[in-house]
């Protein structure tokens, strides 16, 4: 029994040393990116209202991809993008297109995310156009259906302006260097790792890439800063609430984030 306990203790210590050394290595040298994100991009856990302690809080990184150009369609949660066969091969995926093999295994790629830039501005303009279109339709034909569509479009526009994430997927690459070189002059570009899965549509004969999730999708709040979040409850997805806090974050050599500072926002 003592032998087993000793082995377990050695494994535990070894695991902790590996984790700590990884954290230290990630923070060595200059940060690859430093951004100040708000609650729009960093949400509290959904069970925050149930938690009684401030320890162990993590913030979820909320990102999105651009919506389609169709002004009558709103798709905030769709995370697949159209892609060509050559682009998939360049990302390191093996060729596939047969009926018996319409999908391939997921692969970790490097993602470029744009923060509060042209991609987000385009989303605001799309939401404004959707609202103006629904408003014009309502004015031409006033009925309950068109009234509801107008209200929904206005709600989405307000969410876009006040609470939706401004962290938008821009591009994926096989390696870090190609993205860092391409966007070296842009301070609002965040390069991280994320898991993606390709698909082939046998009916439409085209390819798509499902952006599954970031490799590191949550950021742990240091214990000395956890008190800041005392009394805050998580927001519902449909809430229109201006961000209540801003967080200074750095990403290190392993493209993993850590929190530098947390600030309260007054609205």
Reported as a single tens digit per residue, the pLDDT across 189-244 is 999 999 999 998 888 889 999 999 999 999 999 988 988 998 888 887 778 899 99
- Beta carbons of 208 and 80 less than 8 angstroms apart: yes
Burial annotation 157-169 (CB, 10 A radius, 16+ → b, else e) = bebbeebbbbbbb
Query: In the β-sheet with 245-251, what is the strand arrangement from edge to edge?
Result: 33-38, 245-251, 257-264
* pTM, to two decimals: 0.85
CB proximity list for 97: less than 8 A, separation 6 or greater: 85, 200, 207
pLDDT reading at 246 higher than 90: yes
> Given this model, what pLDDT does residue 147 score?
97
Crossing angle (nearest 10°) for helices 118-140 and 144-162: 160
Give dist(CA 142, CA 211) in Å, integer. 40
For the chain, the structural domain boundaries read: 29-264
pLDDT digits (tens, 9 = 90+) for 116-167: 999 999 999 999 999 999 999 999 999 999 999 999 999 999 999 999 999 9
- Sheet with 107-115, side-by-side order of all strands: 80-83, 206-214, 189-201, 107-115, 167-173
């Amino acid at each position: 029994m003592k032998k087993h306990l000793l082995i377990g203790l050695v494994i535990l210590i070894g695991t902790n040393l590996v984790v700590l050394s990884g954290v230290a290595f990630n923070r060595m040298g200059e940060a690859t990116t430093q951004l100040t994100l708000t609650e729009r991009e960093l949400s509290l856990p959904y069970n925050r209202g149930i938690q009684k302690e401030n320890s162990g809080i993590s913030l979820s990184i909320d990102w999105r991809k651009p919506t389609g150009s169709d002004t009558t369609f709103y798709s905030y949660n769709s995370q697949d993008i159209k892609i060509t066969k050559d682009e998939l091969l360049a990302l390191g995926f093996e060729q596939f297109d047969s009926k018996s093999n319409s999908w391939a295994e997921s692969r970790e790629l490097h993602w470029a995310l744009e923060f509060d830039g042209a991609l987000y501005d385009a989303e605001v303009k799309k939401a404004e156009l959707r609202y103006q279109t629904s408003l014009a339709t309502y004015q031409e034909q006033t009925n309950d259906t068109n009234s509801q569509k107008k209200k929904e479009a206005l709600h989405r526009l307000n969410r876009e302006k006040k609470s939706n994430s401004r962290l938008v997927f821009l591009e994926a690459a096989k390696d870090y260097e190609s993205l860092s070189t391409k966007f070296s002059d842009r301070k609002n570009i965040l390069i991280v790792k994320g898991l993606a899965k390709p698909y082939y549509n046998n009916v439409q004969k085209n390819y798509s890439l499902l952006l599954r999730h970031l490799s590191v999708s949550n950021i742990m709040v240091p214990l000395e800063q956890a008190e800041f979040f005392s009394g805050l409850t998580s927001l519902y997805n449909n809430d229109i609430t201006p961000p209540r806090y801003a967080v200074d974050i750095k990403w290190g050599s392993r493209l993993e984030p850590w929190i530098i500072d947390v600030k309260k926002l007054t609205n």
